[in-house]
């Protein structure tokens, strides 16, 4: 079902470069229209080649989730990328503190806090280091972050501890849901950041940075409050974004190339399982991913090396792929899929496929 040259044995993850570049341009243009900064989350791709393309398309720097990701990008991209935000309320032990001090010598560094205890840890190990700090605000996902109207008190406490607080950020993760969820999460983000910014001002701190955004909420982003967006998934998109309606099938730029190994009637089994596409399966999704070529087929179950895919009972038999056929599976969540492979295969129009090392794969700490 694809005539792509087989650079490797299946399964492997393959990138469509034309689609990728189109996705990068679309979001960079959107940020420019809004007049706000784009700081893409690099946890999605973990690739130096992709980070460079994001910077070239206009990103001001990168967002990462861990110290390890920051180290990987600081090493691989210097001096092109020298502005990293670790968007996570780290608990900074002495050893993590030493790693952060080393990082701060190599790159501009922004860190996150969401408690006075966390701020105290940070201040203890980074007192003399020039890092920016932002307060994480819970805008409705109820994961980490403080309630918006408490942001100022935390910022005040951090400032008193000697930290350089520059603003607030949130992740409207509850926008990952069907129907009105995206719009509502964007509204919640607007309200939470507005309130948090006011709370900082009330405590004598200027909220210069008001950072938010996610791939599903980009379309609803408002420059009235946001100074920066941090979408991650948009270069590749995935089955979640497809089902949320935040992209179309033509915008999917990464797939698992897999081989059909079994067929019984309208059921097929392919050799891509949870060890290459990830096991993510939110309740609102139709299955464990999608076949790019067959939008009505459902990925009904996933084992480590099998995806079981059911076609509609009245699907034309001749259109159901037989064993040996190559197909393209769209992962539900591209960030966890990429984290399972050592490199992404990037077919080129002329000549052999490019190979992009996933430099921050497994960088969990």
CB 18, min distance to its own copies, A: 25
| The pair of three-digit structure tokens given for residue 184, joined into one six-digit string | 């509502």
Choosing from 308, 320, 330, 353, the residue that interacts with its own copies (CB under 8 A) is: 308
Which position among 220, 261, 315, 357 is part of the footprint of its own copies (CB under 8 A)?
A: 261
Closest CA to 171 of 241, 121, 232, 219: 232
* Pairwise CA distance, residues 191 & 13, whole Å: 39
Q: In this complex, which beta carbon is closest to its own copies, that of residue 57 or of residue 263?
A: 263
**Site mask, its own copies, residues 272-291, x = CB under 8 A?**
x-xxx-xxxx----------
The span from the CA of 70 to the CA of 84, in Å, is 7
Q: Interface with its own copies includes 198 (CB under 8 A)?
A: no
In the list 105, 201, 262, 355, the residue contacting its own copies (rule: CB under 8 A) is: 262
How far, in Å, are 149, 250, 291 from residue 206 at the CA level?
15, 42, 48
Between residues 282 and 295, which has the closer beta carbon with respect to its own copies? 282
Q: Where does residue 302 fall: left (phi above 0), alpha (psi -120 to 50 degrees), or beta otherwise?
A: beta
- Looking at residues 13 to 72 of the shown chain, list those that interact with its own copies (rule: CB under 8 A): 43, 65-67
Binding mask 235-254 for its own copies (x = CB under 8 A): --------------------
Choices 55-63, 158-166, 215-223, 337-345; region in contact with its own copies by CB under 8 A: 337-345
Q: Smaller CB distance to its own copies: residue 31 or 276?
A: 276
Residues 71-130 that bind its own copies (CB under 8 A): 88-91, 93, 95-96, 99, 114-115, 117-118, 121
Among 26, 129, 208, 340, binds its own copies (CB under 8 A): 340
Phi, psi of 140, deg, nearest 5: 135, -10
322 binds its own copies per the rule CB under 8 A: yes
Dihedral pair phi/psi, residue 244, rounded to 5°: -75, -20
Nearest approach in angstroms of CB 121 to its own copies is 7
Nearer residue to its own copies within complex by CB, 204 or 362: 362
In this chain, which of 3, 33, 128, 142 binds its own copies, going by CB under 8 A?
142
DSSP output for 257-298? EEEEEEEETTEEEES--HHHH-----TTSSSS-EETTBTT-E
Distance between CA atoms of 126 and 274, rounded to whole angstroms?
40
Q: What SS3 string covers 95-117?
A: HHHHHHHHHHHHCEEEEEECCHH
Bridge partners (DSSP) of residue 115 are: none
* Residue with smaller CB distance to its own copies, 201 or 262: 262
In the three-class reduction of DSSP (H, G, I as helix; E, B as strand; rest coil), residue 38 is classed as strand
> How many other CB atoms are there within 10 angstroms of residue 139's CB atom?
28
Binding site for its own copies (CB under 8 A): 6, 8-12, 43, 65-67, 88-91, 93, 95-96, 99, 114-115, 117-118, 121, 142-144, 173, 259-263, 267, 269, 271-272, 274-276, 278-281, 301, 303-306, 308, 322-324, 333, 335-336, 339-342, 362, 364-365
């Amino acid at each position: 079902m694809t005539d792509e040259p087989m650079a490797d044995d299946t399964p492997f993850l393959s990138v469509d470069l034309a689609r990728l570049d189109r996705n990068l341009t679309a979001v960079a243009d959107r940020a420019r229209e809004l007049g706000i900064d784009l700081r893409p989350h690099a946890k999605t791709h973990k690739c130096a080649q992709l980070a460079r393309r994001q910077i070239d398309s206009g990103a001001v720097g990168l967002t990462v989730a861990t110290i390890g990701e920051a180290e990987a990008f600081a090493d691989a991209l210097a001096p092109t990328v020298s502005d990293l935000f670790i968007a996570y309320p780290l608990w900074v032990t002495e050893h993590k503190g030493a790693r952060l001090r080393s990082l701060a010598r190599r790159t501009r560094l922004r860190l996150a806090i969401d408690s006075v205890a966390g701020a105290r840890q940070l201040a203890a190990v980074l007192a003399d280091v020039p890092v920016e700090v932002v307060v994480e605000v819970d805008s409705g996902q109820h994961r980490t972050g403080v309630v918006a109207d408490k942001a100022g008190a935390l910022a005040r406490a951090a400032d008193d501890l000697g930290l350089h607080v520059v603003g607030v950020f949130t992740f409207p993760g509850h926008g990952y849901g069907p129907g009105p969820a995206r719009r509502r999460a964007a509204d919640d983000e607007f309200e939470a950041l507005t309130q948090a910014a006011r709370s900082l001002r009330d405590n004598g701190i200027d909220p210069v940075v008001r950072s938010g955004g996610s791939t599903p909420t980009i379309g609803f982003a408002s420059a009235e409050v946001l100074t920066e967006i941090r979408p991650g998934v948009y270069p590749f998109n995935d089955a979640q974004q497809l089902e949320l309606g935040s992209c179309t099938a033509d915008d999917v730029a990464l797939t698992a190339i897999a081989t059909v190994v079994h067929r019984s009637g309208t059921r097929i089994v392919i050799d891509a399982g949870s060890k290459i596409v990830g096991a993510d399966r939110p309740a609102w999704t139709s299955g464990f991913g999608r076949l790019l070529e067959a939008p009505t087929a459902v990925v009904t179950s996933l084992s480590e090396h099998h995806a079981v895919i059911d076609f509609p009972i009245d699907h034309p038999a001749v259109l159901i792929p037989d064993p040996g056929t190559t197909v393209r599976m769209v992962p539900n969540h591209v960030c966890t899929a990429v984290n399972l492979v050592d490199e992404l295969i990037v077919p080129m129009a002329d000549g052999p496929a490019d190979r992009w090392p996933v430099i921050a794969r497994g960088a969990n700490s």
